[in-house]
Amino acid sequence: MKAERRAAAKARPDAAVHAARNFFASVPIPDGGVISLYYPIKDELDTEPLAARLFEQEMQVALPVVAAKNEPLVFRRYAPGDALVDGVYGELTPDEHAAILSPAIIVTPLLAFNRQGGRLGYGGGYYDRTLAKHRADGSVIAVGYAYGAQEVDALPLSPVDQPLDWVLTSRASLNRRHNGKRGETVRIAVFGDIVGRSGRTAVVERLPRLRRDLALDFIVVNAENAAGGFGVTPRICEELFDAGADVLTTGNHAYDQRDDIAIFDREPRLLRPANFPPSNPGKGSAMFQDAEGRNVLVIHVQGQRGMFPIDDPCAAIDRELAGVKLGREADAVIVDFHAEATSEKYSMGHHLDGRASLVVGTHTHVPTADDQILQHGTAYITDLGMCGDYDSVIGMEKSEPLHRFVTKMPGGRFTPAAGAATICGIVIETNPKTGLAQSVSALRTGGRLREIRPDF
């Protein structure tokens, strides 16, 4: 397995950055809890990006120290600028003057792992003894930190080997207990149009906790108004991905930020409507995988009624679904229909009923109260609403829209409202056999609108 790890380290120089993102999106961090990392040796997955983010949030970090052979590890406080000394096995550790701490989360290196939480270490048994001791004394979360290439189907484990609660890689967050509880059900959330800094800040700050609290497997966010109300930028994409979004959709404002439209070709997780001209940058659908390796197809199309002229969205959807059967090639199918007319959105929902897990309407920025499961099993809502300040005119500061309605004359630029944002979206659970929806609920939190949380 060392060869696989060396190859992965060379092929994925950015793996540690993405693994750190997955850590914050997935692992429940107790308030005030100490997180123990490790100082990487050779080609172990680097913990420095994770440490940097922990320090940014003023969390306590410790590093392990081998105190004696065949004894549990000791954890000493580590902060930026602290002196480090050589450890027993060539690793760097805090010196003897650093305070001893008791970690709530222990992040471990490894040679190999499996999806049942099995961990193959280096043969010394230090982490197994340490986890056994801390689990006997109280609660501790064991997190394996690795490259995806280190996953194997089976491991030669003994009764004293301690299982991991989580395994984090650059592409996945695997939870041993989560797997046992939920089987193949996929829990999906889709969030409506982010409008300006207020909406963007709210999503970035709250999405990691929503992902943890609601045990979300896959998250789609519509980001078409995230950059000052018009379009999206590479930096904003990275912020939203770091917060836990798996896919970003857009709409008629997709290309408003013209300085870097090429982001749609560079970033496969950023979609534009599939019924845009085929020569346009980017694509309108893609098959993704959640942390459990389940296939999630996301399709993005734009409506015709009240929008600029565009190809038939129904024909585009049918092309994207050709050869993909829900429950066979795809474990879930999500459709973001960016459209103005309620009738066109409802028609699309019925057109896809039984072929998609979820059809959501976006674009109008006002949440509708019709979240439901249609006759043949597809979850549907006419419009998710926006993630933005609702003390506004659909996300924009009130004075300019009011001026134009009253005087019929422009007075200035539209600017996003800057007050407290409400995050609006929808959450579904899929049937593990068919991929169709078995539960659906609107989700609203923060800001002015009434709080709505799923009860499943």
The per-residue pLDDT for range 144-167, each reduced to its tens digit, is: 999 888 888 888 888 889 999 999
What integer pLDDT is reported at residue 7 of this predicted model? 74
Q: Which of 9-13, 73-77, 185-189, 289-293 has the lowest mean pLDDT?
A: 9-13
**What angle, rounded to 10 degrees, do the helices at 234-243 and 196-213 form?**
20
Residue closest to 238 by CA, chosen among 258, 215, 266, 218 = 266
CA distance 308 to 337: 15
| Residues paired with residue 79 on neighbouring β-strands, in sequence order | none
Does residue 20 have a pLDDT over 80? yes
Mean confidence (pLDDT) of the chain: 91
CATH code reported for the domain at 187-445: 3.60.21.10
Chain centroid to Cα 270, Å, comes to 13
* Ranges 80-94, 178-192, 399-413, most confident: 399-413
Give the predicted TM-score (pTM) of the model.
Answer: 0.65
Highest mean pLDDT among 112-116, 156-160, 265-269, 270-274: 270-274
Distance CA 151, CA 112 (A): 6
Residue 178: is its pLDDT beyond 80?
no
Which residues are identified as catalytic? 253
H-helix or E-strand spanning residue 145: strand 141-145
Closest CA to 269 of 254, 281, 285, 253: 285
Assign 194 to helix, strand or coil: strand
Cα separation values, 86 from 40, 92, 116, Å: 12, 5, 34
**What pLDDT shows up at residue 69?**
87
Lowest-confidence segment of 134-138, 265-269, 344-348 by average pLDDT: 134-138
Quick check: 318 and 335 in contact, CB under 8 A? no
Q: Are 2-181 and 187-445 equal in CATH topology?
A: no
For the chain, the first-to-last Cα distance in angstroms comes to: 41
pLDDT computed for residue 313 by the predictor:
97
Winning range, highest mean pLDDT, from 5-9, 41-45, 168-172, 438-442: 438-442
Place of tokens 């963007």: 200
Query: Which residues make beta-bridge pairs with 282?
Result: none
330 vs 367, which has greater pLDDT? 367
Q: Dihedral of CA 12/13/18/19: which sign?
A: positive
**Domain ranges for the chain:** 2-181, 187-445
Please determine, for residue 181, whether its predicted confidence score (pLDDT) is greater than 50.
Answer: no
Q: Domain 2-181 in CATH: superfamily?
A: NagB/RpiA/CoA transferase-like (3.40.50.10420)
Query: What angle do helix axes 196-213 and 15-26 make, rounded to 10 degrees?
Result: 70
Token duo for residue 244: 């836990």
Distance CA 274, CA 310 (A): 10
Is the pLDDT assigned to residue 170 strictly greater than 60?
yes
Confidence grade of residue 182 (pLDDT, cut at 50, 70, 90): very low
Round to whole Å and give the CA distance between 320 and 283: 11
**Mean pLDDT of the 207-213 span:** 92
Of 139 and 171, the one with more pLDDT: 139
Q: Is the confidence at residue 12, as pLDDT, over 80? A: no
316: phi then psi, degrees, rounded to nearest 5:
-65, -45
Q: Of 218 and 139, which is predicted with more confidence?
A: 218
Q: Residue 3: what pLDDT? A: 73
